[in-house]
A = this chain, B = another copy of it.
Amino acid sequence: MNVQIVEVGPRDGLQNEKELLPAQVKIQLIDKLVAAGLKRVEATSFVNPRWIPQLADAEEVLQGINRPEDVRFSALVPNVRGMERARASGLTEIALFMSASETHNVKNINKSMEETFPVLREVAREALALGMRVRGYVSTVFGCPYEGAVPIDNSRRVTDELLEMGAFEISLGDTIGVATPKQVREVLAAMLRDVPTERLAGHFHDTRGTGMANVAAALDMGLRTFDSSIGGLGGCPYAPGAAGNISTEDLVYLLQGIGYETGVDLNRLVEAGAYIQEQLGRELSSKVLKAELASKRAG
């Protein structure tokens, strides 16, 4: 396996679904994703259920899923309380998040960027002391729905702070899906001057059709870890018009076609996508899912 996929569908993908899904559906989805060969799964988040009602069942989901030893499960947490809930559920990995743009950070987590750093620092310190792994997300790296262009220095600052807090990996997010391959190369070139490639992951959305081209550009720049969401589920509630994450099916197809090994069985992955599509009762955006299901119907 020379490219790592971080499956974020159960968290980033489902969090904006209005209709509440039963925990059992999420458990089955995660089990199917793991059965398809995914080794890193962001399974849920421990935020206040009033903010994200869809993920209020975090404990139940984590208790219900199969947890093979070679699969790393994580959860998004906003604060020490969330981290403690994650740990109580047996997780050994959490993800912290903030934006590279002030306005998006305020709208998303109700704090200025400067107010956010000490909160995350405390969570990271306590998690690390408990032997947990900490991942960092930087949102709006490639553009902000409120401020437009985001200076690379902002993303760089947040990345540096998160690394300095002890994060093992920073996921650079194109939250509203505006990035193009040229910008991906520019941002990564600036980052990679001091940050080793293995500490960075790409988190792309496909709002304007550039998701896979951005992955290809990031691969050229040396990145080997990518976040994606089964079926292309997802979006951002505070980013108007933002469509979903890149689809795991499409990502695996691209990577396999280029010759990378992902350890994922595409047929079983499509089964997982078909499952959650049926549960949600609407067509998901994954192109490979569409093509594979059409081809099965045809014959």
Given A180-B258, A208-B250, verify A243-B287 contact (CB < 8 Å).
yes
| Residues of A199-246 contacting chain B, CB below 8 A | 206-213, 215-217, 240-243, 246
Q: Return the contact of A207 from the options B181, B182, B247, B287 (Cβ within 8 A).
A: B287
B211, B254, B291: the one contacting A177 at CB < 8 Å is B291
Whether A209 and B254, one on each chain, are in contact in the complex, defined by CB atoms closer than 8 angstroms, is yes
Distance between A114 CB and nearest chain B CB, rounded to angstroms = 29
What B residues does A259 contact at CB under 8 A? 182
> How many angstroms from the CA of A211 to the CA of B216 in the assembled complex?
12
Within 8 A of B (CB), among A13-49: none
Cβ of A294 within 8 Å of any chain B Cβ, yes or no, is yes
* CB of A89 closer than 8 Å to a CB of B: no
Residues of B near A241 (CB, < 8 A) are 291-292, 294-295, 298
Rounded to whole angstroms, the CA-CA distance of A177 and B250 in the bound complex is 12
Q: Which residue from B206, B253, B258, B288 sits with its C-beta under 8 Å from A287?
A: B206
- A131 is an interface residue with CB less than 8 A from chain B: no
8 A Cβ contacts from A275-299 to B: 286-288, 290-292, 294-295, 298-299
Complex Cα gap A129–B39 (Å): 63
User: Within the complex, what minimum Cβ distance (angstroms) separates A227 from chain B?
Assistant: 16
- Using an 8 Å CB-CB cutoff, how does the interface string of A238-268 with B read, 1 for contact, 0 for none? 0011110011001001100111000000000
A183 part of interface (Cβ distance < 8 Å): yes
Shortest Cβ gap from A173 to chain B (Å): 17
Complex contacts, A253 vs chain B, CB 8 Å: 180, 208-210
Interface residues in chain A, defined as those with a beta carbon under 8 Å from any beta carbon in chain B: 177-183, 206-213, 215-217, 240-243, 246-247, 250, 253-254, 257-259, 286-288, 290-292, 294-295, 298-299
